[in-house]
């Protein structure tokens, strides 16, 4: 019997190969800097279960991105240099500030737009509509489902469809807007090496290193060198899975995502290997290739799993909300990005754009275009920062529906604006002081 997961990955592999062939043959795709995985994912979206239904993915294929993201985060500590905790904390704090600002401003903007503008034209518009921007964009489909369910229990039945629509539009805008931003940014930096050439040279160099160095510390008769690297990653994943189960069982009201605890587990495994004198067994180029492979499949499944709910009755209100939300998110990332992020601001801001409008897979897809091998350590910084982003998200998602259903929107607006002012004040002052120096 052939397991559905084997068929799903075989189909995804076929889409990836076909995307590679199209990328090589169609010039416009190369000029747009579209990786093969994004092309393959779009093909999967069109031909898969959410499109014309020509490709028979199983019903479980939409759950693969969550597992693949966790596996990717397991590779990060092993593929990067020894962690500089001071640098990690500094960069993570910058990314935390930008991410939290995006969260609170999306909530505040949704409230202001709904209460002071949209309800003037549509007086019957539910107060809960003000949450649709944040829960769909920065929250994603998971948060959209949670908020939609909460509002449905409180009597607003349209919330579920609206929230899922917002999340879907956010994903599409995330990848489309991100690629447009990358192209514009690259055209303004004509003196730099082109992304395509850089990635090609990096891949060539890594392949040569891989072929000559992979087996230098292991014997093929004991264990295959590639199998050894995979085992290290899987051990870290197993530790993260156990931590995830233990944490969410012990503290069910404050859940942490699997990828976050998988990253912590990988850091612990690497530290244990260093103390045990086994660190030389890690082959960084090989684990980087494993991470790249996982990322390709993550993007394939992530894009192919996009759904298109149609909410005709709210089309005008949603259009206004989305346009304002996208403009706000781009302003945060492109204008405030250099203010908040001290080093490699573009890569960090681009990844932030990807996940605050779509999902994390979209942020990784965009980051892969400009930083193919995670040399800026953006993903490492985000994994660390996300530990402290989670409480903000949990509080907003948990309390906002309850307050809004009791007509206490002003509390949510006041708190989010206060946090935004404090963040802008602190990071703006730091940026101005740096400019003076």
Give the integer Cα–Cα distance in Å for 415 and 399.
12
3-state secondary structure the chain: CCCHHHHHHHHHHHHHHHHHHHHHHCHHHHHCCCCHHHHHHHHHHHHCCCCCCCCCCCCCHHHHHHHHHHHHHHHHHHHCCCCCHHHHHHHHHHHHHHHHHHHHHHHHHHHHHHHHHHHHHCCCCCHHHHHHHHHHCCCHHHHHHHHHHHHHHCCCCCHHHHHHHHHHHHHHHHHHHHHHHHHHHHHCCCCCCCHHHHHHHHHHHHHHHHHHHCCCCCCCCCCCHHHHHHHHHHHHHHHHHHHHHHHHHHCCCCCCCHHHHHHHHHHHHHHHHHHCCCHHHCCHHHHHHHHHHHHHHHHHHHHHCCCCCCCHHHHHHHHHHHHHHHHHHHHHHHCCHHHHCCCCHHHHHHHHHHHHHCCHHHHHHHHHHHCCCCCCCHHHHHHHHHHHHHHHHHHHHHHHHHHHHCCCHHHHHHHHHHHHHHHHHHHHHHHHHHHHC
User: What are the 10-residue block averages of pLDDT along the chain, 437 residues in total?
Assistant: 85 94 84 77 88 88 83 83 60 89 93 90 88 84 69 76 78 84 73 41 44 54 84 95 90 75 90 89 88 85 71 79 92 92 90 87 83 81 81 77 81 92 93 83
**Do 203 and 272 touch, CB atoms closer than 8 A?**
no
> What per-residue confidence (pLDDT) applies to 203?
41
In b/e form, how buried is each residue of 93-106, taking b as 16+ CB within 10 angstroms? bbbbbbbbbbbbbb
Give the integer Cα–Cα distance in Å for 352 and 100.
11
Residue 256 tokens, joined: 């942490």
Of 11, 18, 51, 37, which Cα lies nearest the Cα of 372?
Answer: 37
Write down how long the chain is. 437
> What per-residue confidence (pLDDT) applies to 86?
61
Read off the pTM.
Answer: 0.70
> What per-residue confidence (pLDDT) applies to 190?
47
Give the integer Cα–Cα distance in Å for 57 and 73.
25
Give the integer Cα–Cα distance in Å for 162 and 170.
12
Give the integer Cα–Cα distance in Å for 94 and 329.
17
> What per-residue confidence (pLDDT) applies to 171?
77
> What per-residue confidence (pLDDT) applies to 304?
83
> What per-residue confidence (pLDDT) applies to 324?
93
> What per-residue confidence (pLDDT) applies to 215?
54
> What per-residue confidence (pLDDT) applies to 207?
47
End-to-end CA distance of the chain: 67
> What per-residue confidence (pLDDT) applies to 146?
67
> What per-residue confidence (pLDDT) applies to 201?
42
CA torsion through residues 269, 271, 276, 279, sign: positive
Instruction: Provide CB contacts within 8 A for 254, sequence distance 6+.
Output: 390, 391, 394
Instruction: Provide CB contacts within 8 A for 42, sequence distance 6+.
Output: 303
Domain ranges within the chain, ordered by starting residue: 1-59, 95-229+306-436
Of 170, 182, 199, 205, which Cα lies nearest the Cα of 31?
Answer: 182
> What per-residue confidence (pLDDT) applies to 242?
95
């Amino acid at each position: 019997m052939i397991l559905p997961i084997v068929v799903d990955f075989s189909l995804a592999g076929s889409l990836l190969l076909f995307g590679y062939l199209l990328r090589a043959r169609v010039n416009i795709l190369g000029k747009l800097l579209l990786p093969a995985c994004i092309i393959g994912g779009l093909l999967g979206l069109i031909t898969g279960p959410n499109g014309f239904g020509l490709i028979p993915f199983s019903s479980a294929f939409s759950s693969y991105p969550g597992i693949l993201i966790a596996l990717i985060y397991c590779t990060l500590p092993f593929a990067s240099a020894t962690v500089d905790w001071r640098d990690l904390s500094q960069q993570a704090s910058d990314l935390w500030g930008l991410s939290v600002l995006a969260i609170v401003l999306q909530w505040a903007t949704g409230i202001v737009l709904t209460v002071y503008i949209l309800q003037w034209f549509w007086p019957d518009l539910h107060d809960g509509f003000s949450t649709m921007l944040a829960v769909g964009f920065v929250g994603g489909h998971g948060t959209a489902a949670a908020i939609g369910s909460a509002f449905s229990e409180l009597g607003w039945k349209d919330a579920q469809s609206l929230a899922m629509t917002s999340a879907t539009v956010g994903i599409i805008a995330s990848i489309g807007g991100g690629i447009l931003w990358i192209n514009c940014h690259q055209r303004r930096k004509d003196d730099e090496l082109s992304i395509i050439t850089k990635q090609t040279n990096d891949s060539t160099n890594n392949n040569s290193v891989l072929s000559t160095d992979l087996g230098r510390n292991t014997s093929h008769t004991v264990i295959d060198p590639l199998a050894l690297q995979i085992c290290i990653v899987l051990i870290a994943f197993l530790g993260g899975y156990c931590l995830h189960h233990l944490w969410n069982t012990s503290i069910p009201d404050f859940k942490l995502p699997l990828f976050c605890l998988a990253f912590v587990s990988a850091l612990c495994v690497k530290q244990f290997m260093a103390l045990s004198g086994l660190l030389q067994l890690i082959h960084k180029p090989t684990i980087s290739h494993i991470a790249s492979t996982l990322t390709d499949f993550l993007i394939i499944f992530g894009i192919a799993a996009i759904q298109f709910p149609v909410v005709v009755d709210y089309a005008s209100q949603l259009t206004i909300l989305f346009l304002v939300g996208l403009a706000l998110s781009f302003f945060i990332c492109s204008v405030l990005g250099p203010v908040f992020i001290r080093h490699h601001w573009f890569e960090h801001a681009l990844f932030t754009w990807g996940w605050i409008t779509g999902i994390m897979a979209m942020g990784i897809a965009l980051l892969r275009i400009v930083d193919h091998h995670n040399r800026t350590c953006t993903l490492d910084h985000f994994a660390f920062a996300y530990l402290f982003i989670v409480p903000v998200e949990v509080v907003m998602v948990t309390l906002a529906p309850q307050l809004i259903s009791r007509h206490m929107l002003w509390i949510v607006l006041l708190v989010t604006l206060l946090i935004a002012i404090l963040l802008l004040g602190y990071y703006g002052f730091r940026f101005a002081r740096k400019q003076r120096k």
